Amino acid sequence: MSGPGADLTALADRIGHRFTDESLLRRALAHRSWCAETPGAISNERLEFLGDAVLGWAIADMVYHRYDVAEGQLTDLRKSVVNAIALADVAQELGLGPHIMLGRGEAAAGGSDKPSILSDAFEAVLGAVYLDGGAEAAYGMVERLVMPRMPETADAMDQFDQKTQLQELSARAGRGAPVYEVTSRGPDHAKSFHAIVRVDGEVIGEGDGRSKKAAEQAAATQACQTFV
């Protein structure tokens, strides 16, 4: 039966890494809410920090070598998979949710289905794989599980829309639709725009651009990276 304390062999098989030190995988699944109720427990936050850095490195290396495009497009390609929505989807496909150890309140609130918790857990698991198997093992995990979500060609990035991603993320979290507020400054021939995006009245992202659309996209991009 899956759940906290359950046998993690099948999960490790889906991840594609057989742990020498299985305690690393268990720690990667320990949410801070569970640790607050469990004396002596260590949360997955440090592993998440490490996994986030490893993910950034691996994806940057892969897109650099696989796509002959300008820096801006490389950044967009990276953002297409390094965001809470994409990583939460990977975590769900792996079946991480039932294994995440949550505090009673968080569990009752459906925490195992929250994109922010799922994506954080995925990064923590990646950090655990890195510590247990090294850079090659972690790189392979990213290549197997994350890179297949990358657009096949750079031209596909024309369809990549951070505003749509944010709207989907907000809906999955059971929150309201994003609302944008855009202001402009400068003369007509050289205007710049600043956008703020709110969800349920809370400012969750800001961004600038040479057009209203670009500013809104920039704000949505920031919001997707920090959405909770």
Task: Count H helices and E strands in the chain, helices first.
Answer: 11, 3
Cβ-count burial of 172 within 10 angstroms (0-12 exposed, 13-18 middle, 19+ buried)? middle
Active site residue 200: no
Rounded to whole angstroms, the Cα distance separating 114 from 159 reads: 25
Whether the CB-CB separation of 129 and 137 falls below 8 Å is answered with yes
Write out the two tokens for 112.
């195992």
Q: Is the dihedral of CA 154, 48, 58, 126 positive or negative?
A: negative
Q: Which residues contact 29 (CB under 8 A, 6 or more apart)?
A: 4, 44, 96, 99, 100, 101, 121, 124, 125
Rounded to whole angstroms, the Cα distance separating 226 from 228 reads: 6
C-alpha of 8 from chain center: 22
- Taking alpha carbons only, the member of 25, 144, 30 closest to residue 81 is 144
Give strand pairing partners of 101. Answer: 30
- List 76, 123, 132, 216, catalytic entry: 123
Active site residue 123: yes
DSSP 6: -
- Residues annotated as catalytic (active site), given as ranges: 52, 123
